[in-house]
Amino acid sequence: MAALIRVTDNSSPESVHVAVWVDRPASAVYAYAADPRNLPTWAPGLLTSIDQVDGSWVAQSPLGEVVVEFTPPNDLGVMDHDVHLPDGQVVHNPFRVLQGGDHAELVFSVRRLPGMTDEQFATDHGSVRKDLEALKAILEG
């Protein structure tokens, strides 16, 4: 029997908030995670390299060359970024480092893109969890 893949009505937004605790102060987590040059070390499925070209961050990804715009450095732990895909689509990615005592909580909001199936959405937020776990391992190692 073939599996059915349901496409959700995307008239209203849907997000999954992926959270991972890191046994490090939020300031140290932010300092590492907010540096675009570190992305390939903990998110290799997202991009294989990233370089600053004429003031923009240009990355090589499985989808081809993408441009990533990052929130300016801040004291609030906000690491939002917009990914400009080769087809012209822009994907906004809310990403935070939250302080929790001597620890930090990484929270990445994965948003369902228009036309994304349940299976694709689950794969997407599963990949984000894997990346955040890799980041945790680097920071705690």
Q: What is the pLDDT of residues 36-59, one digit of tens each?
A: 999 999 998 889 999 999 999 999
Helix (H) or strand (E) holding 32: helix 26-33
pLDDT at 135 over 80: yes
Question: Would you say residue 4 lies in a domain?
Answer: no
Rounded Cα distance between 131 and 118, Å, is 20
Average pLDDT, integer, range 105-122: 93
Query: Residue 106: which domain range?
Result: 15-140
Distance CA 96, CA 53 (A): 26
Is 1 within the bounds of a domain?
A: no
Model confidence at 7, pLDDT cuts 50, 70, 90, reads very low
Percent of the chain residues topping a pLDDT of 70: 91
Cα separation, 58 vs 55, in Å, equals: 9
| CATH number of 21's domain | 3.30.530.20
Q: Which amino acid is at 43?
A: A
Q: Which pLDDT score, from 0 to 100, does residue 81 have?
A: 95
Q: How far apart are CA 87 and CA 85, in angstroms?
A: 5
Please check whether residue 27 lies inside any domain of the structure. Answer: yes
* Residue 2 belongs to a domain: no
Count the Cβ atoms, other than its own, within 10 Å of residue 13. 7
Domain assignment of residue 55, yes or no: yes
Give residue-wise pLDDT tens across range 56-76.
Answer: 999 999 889 999 999 999 999
Q: Tell me what the pLDDT averaged over the chain comes to.
A: 90
Q: Which residue has the tokens 């369902």?
A: 112
Split into its structural domains, the chain has a count of 1
For residue 117, what is the DSSP state? B
More confident residue, 6 or 30: 30
**pTM for this one?**
0.87
pLDDT above 60: residue 5: no
